[in-house]
Structures are given as structure tokens and as C-alpha cells.
């Protein structure tokens, strides 16, 4: 028997949740739409929430029409169809055209799970004796100076100087986006599908689990250290994804000034999805 559990929470009550997910009996996918300062423009009137939701919808549609297709091909097709969906109304050649990071799991009848990670979403899975943890850190390997400037202590997050530093970071990252040697995200270039990190594992063992996180949710481990990956997976499986996200928000509320954990966004949209192969008995 296969169980899926998912929770998603917007980082701000005033803004749309730019995380999205889709689940079918043989597919789970999460996407995290990228935000950029509105005055820098993105050539699109739909926005990142639309992009992420449309993308996961097309991933699901591609999987339905081609159940045996590899996750890289599903993502490439979804990028192409999402781009087509706004090519008539928006400037899809804009360097800041809406984009998303992605994590995906597909399940085949032979008991093999195939996974894909593109950008800073994270896959965590019982893949045998060890826990498999996959995230794509190519973005964090670009724009070092601009990121360090944003995280520098002493610059208030509501100051003009901070806003200027954020702009500089976004523009520096755009120059590396979907370029060889830079980082890859789902945007307008289907090649991002084949630039994803991928793998497969046996997935039919009872008690085996896999989880997908957007970076707003994986922070509970990789930024705050409140959980290790094994304990985060345990909370997902026992108390559930809502409980894990509540723990995350509690920690962030206690750390309003971001002194303890310097970060660009105080609270980000957060999504955690668990796929659990449970006992039929
Ligand atoms: Zn658009």
C-alpha cells in the first residue's frame, strides 16, 4: 500500500504561495517558484505561483500520457508546455522570466522509484541501508560576493542599502541561470530537464520512505539544524508534514531578527511531501 502525505505553507499571509505540488498514484512532484524584486521585472504578468502550479500540472499530464517516460523527459515536456502557455502574452525571452526548482518521484510497476532534483529542492529517501539526501547546490556556487553582502550583519532588512544588495544578488544570479557552468532551473529552456540530478532505487520494500522538500521546508535541517534528516523523516512519518512545518514556523518566529541564522528571506514558502510504502496487512 502506498501513502502520500503533504503540507504546504506560504511564507507570508500577504503573498501567494509560490510552492506547488502534484500527486498521482505513480508520481509526486514539488516545485518552488522563484521570486525576484518586482521593479527588476520578469516579462510575465502571471508570476512565479502561476509558473510553479502550471509546471507541476504539465508534469502530471506528461506522466499520464507517457507513464514510462523518465523524469527528465517529463520535466522537459512540462517546461516546454508551460512556456508555450504564456508565450503569446508574456516576454519569455526576459532574463528574469518566472522559474522554479523541482523535486520529483515516479514509481514504475517493477517497484523502481526514479527521482529528479533540479535546484535547491531536496529529496530524502530510504534507499537501502543508508539515507539518500540529494539537493542541487549549483546556485549556491555562483554569486558568492553578492550573497555574502546580503548576509552581512548590520544592514537592516528594511533599508535601501539592503534592497540594493538584493537587486545585485538577483542580477548576478540571472547571469548564471541556465548556462553551462552556472545553475539550472525550470524556466523556458527544456534542456533544464536533462541538466537535473537523477537516480533510481528499489521502492517496494515495506517501511521504505521518500520525501520531497522545497528549500523553505528543508531549512529545518540544513539551515536551523533543528532536525537531522533521519529525525525529520521520522517526524514526517509519525506526526506528519503539518507538524514538521509547525516546528519550522515556531523556530522562525523565535528568530525574528535573523541574528542566529542569517538568511535572505525570514520565512519562505514551505512544502514537505512524504511517500511511504506501508504494510498491507
Ligand atoms: Zn506569463
Task: Evaluate whether 120 touches 137 at the Cβ level (below 8 Å).
Answer: yes
All domains of the chain in start order, with CATH:
2-136+184-255+269-277 (3.60.40.10), 140-182 (no CATH)
Cell, residue 122: 531536496
What residues sit around ligand 1, an ion, with C-beta below 5 angstroms?
Answer: 44, 46, 86, 90
Q: What is the pLDDT of residues 65-87, one digit of tens each?
A: 999 999 999 999 999 999 999 99
What was the pLDDT predicted at 17?
96
The DSSP-derived string for the chain is -EEEEEEEE-S-TTS---EEEEEETTEEEEEEEPP--GGG--S-SS-HHHHHHHHHHHHHHHHHH-TTS-HHHHHHHHHHHHHHHHHTTS-TT-TT---EEEEEEEE-TTSEEEEEEESS-EEEEE-SSSEEEEE--TGGGS-HHHHHHHH-TT--TTSHHHHHHHHHHHHHHHHHBTSTTSB--BSS-GGGGTTSEEEEEE--STT-EEEEE-HHHHHHHHTS-SS-HHHHHHHHHHT-HHHHHHHHHHHHHHTTT-SSS--S-SS--EEEEEEEE----
Q: Ligand 1 center to residue 277 CA distance, Å?
A: 38
Q: What is the pLDDT of residues 164-174, one digit of tens each?
A: 998 999 899 88
Q: Ligand 1 center to residue 101 CA distance, Å?
A: 17
Q: Ligand 1 center to residue 72 CA distance, Å?
A: 23
What distance in Å separates the CA atoms of residue 150 and residue 111, rounded to the nearest whole number?
Answer: 45
Q: Please indicate, yes or no, whether the overall pTM of this predicted structure exceeds 0.85.
A: yes
Q: Ligand 1 center to residue 90 CA distance, Å?
A: 5
Q: Ligand 1 center to residue 18 CA distance, Å?
A: 14
Q: What is the pLDDT of residues 7-63, one digit of tens each?
A: 999 999 899 999 999 999 999 999 999 977 888 888 999 999 999 999 999 999 999
**Taking all residues of the chain, what is their mean pLDDT, rounded to a whole number?**
91
Q: Ligand 1 center to residue 29 CA distance, Å?
A: 21
Amino acid at each position: 500500500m502506498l501513502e502520500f502525505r503533504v503540507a504546504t505553507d506560504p511564507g507570508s499571509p500577504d503573498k501567494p504561495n509560490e510552492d506547488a505540488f502534484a500527486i498521482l498514484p505513480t508520481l509526486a512532484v514539488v516545485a518552488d517558484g522563484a521570486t525576484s524584486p518586482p521593479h527588476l521585472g520578469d516579462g510575465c504578468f502571471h508570476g512565479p505561483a502561476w509558473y510553479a502550479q502550471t509546471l507541476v500540472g504539465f508534469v502530471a499530464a506528461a506522466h499520464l500520457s507517457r507513464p514510462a517516460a523518465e523524469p527528465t523527459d517529463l520535466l522537459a515536456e512540462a517546461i516546454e508546455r508551460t512556456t508555450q502557455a504564456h508565450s503569446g502574452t508574456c516576454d519569455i525571452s526576459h532574463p528574469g522570466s518566472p522559474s522554479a526548482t523541482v523535486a520529483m518521484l515516479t514509481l514504475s510497476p517493477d517497484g523502481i522509484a526514479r527521482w529528479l532534483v533540479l535546484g535547491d529542492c531536496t529529496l530524502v529517501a530510504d534507499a537501502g541501508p543508508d539515507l539518500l539526501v540529494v539537493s542541487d547546490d549549483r546556485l549556491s556556487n555562483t554569486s558568492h560576493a553578492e550573497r555574502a553582502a546580503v548576509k552581512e550583519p548590520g544592514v537592516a532588512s528594511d533599508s535601501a542599502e539592503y534592497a540594493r544588495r538584493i537587486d545585485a544578488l538577483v542580477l548576478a544570479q540571472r547571469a548564471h541561470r541556465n548556462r553551462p557552468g552556472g545553475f539550472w532551473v525550470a524556466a523556458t529552456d527544456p534542456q533544464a530537464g536533462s541538466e537535473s540530478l537523477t537516480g533510481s532505487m528499489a521502492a517496494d520494500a515495506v517501511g521504505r520512505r521518500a520525501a520531497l522538500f522545497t528549500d523553505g521546508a528543508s531549512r529545518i535541517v540544513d539551515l536551523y539544524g533543528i532536525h537531522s534528516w533521519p529525525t525529520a523523516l521520522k517526524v514526517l512519518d509519525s506526526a506528519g508534514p503539518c507538524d514538521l512545518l509547525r516546528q519550522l514556523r515556531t523556530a522562525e518566529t523565535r528568530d525574528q531578527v535573523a541574528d542566529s541564522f542569517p538568511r535572505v528571506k525570514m520565512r519562505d514558502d514551505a512544502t514537505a511531501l512524504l511517500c511511504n510504502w506501508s504494510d498491507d496487512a
